[in-house]
Amino acid sequence: MDIQSLFAAQSYTSSKPALQPVPETTQGAKEAFVNVAEDFAQTVQAGEETAKAAMVGQADPHALVQALAQSELAVETAVTVRNKVVEAYQEILRMPV
């Protein structure tokens, strides 16, 4: 019995550092979120520029449809992510303290 409890204590102490947060991980998540937000803004801006060019006859109708489809997909993705975040927040609020 003593050997098993000693082994359990050693495995707990060896796994404890793995459970602590690593500052580099949070920095990577922040950078990833910034990159996604910038990509979203660029996609919407490119769609707007193509739409403006199509209004004055400088863009191909196929390019306009493609840009609008990309913009629509980006907006739908952003709305879905927002809905999931709101849903998670509401679920946290429902948790008993």
Query: What is the rounded CA–CA span in Å between residue 38 and residue 85?
Result: 19
* Residue 33, pLDDT above cutoff 60: yes
The answer to whether residues 47 and 68 touch, using CB atoms and an 8 Å cutoff, is: yes
* Residue 1, pLDDT above cutoff 50: no
Query: What is the rounded CA–CA span in Å between residue 69 and residue 64?
Result: 9
Q: What is the pLDDT of residue 39?
A: 93
The answer to whether residues 51 and 68 touch, using CB atoms and an 8 Å cutoff, is: yes
* 3 vs 32: which has the higher pLDDT: 32
The answer to whether residues 45 and 67 touch, using CB atoms and an 8 Å cutoff, is: no
- pLDDT (tens digit, 9 = 90+) per residue, 37-53? 999 999 999 999 999 99
* Residue 72, pLDDT above cutoff 80: yes
Residue of 44, 32, 37, 36 whose CA lies nearest to 73: 44
* Residue given tokens 């490119």 in the structure block: 46
Q: pTM here? A: 0.63
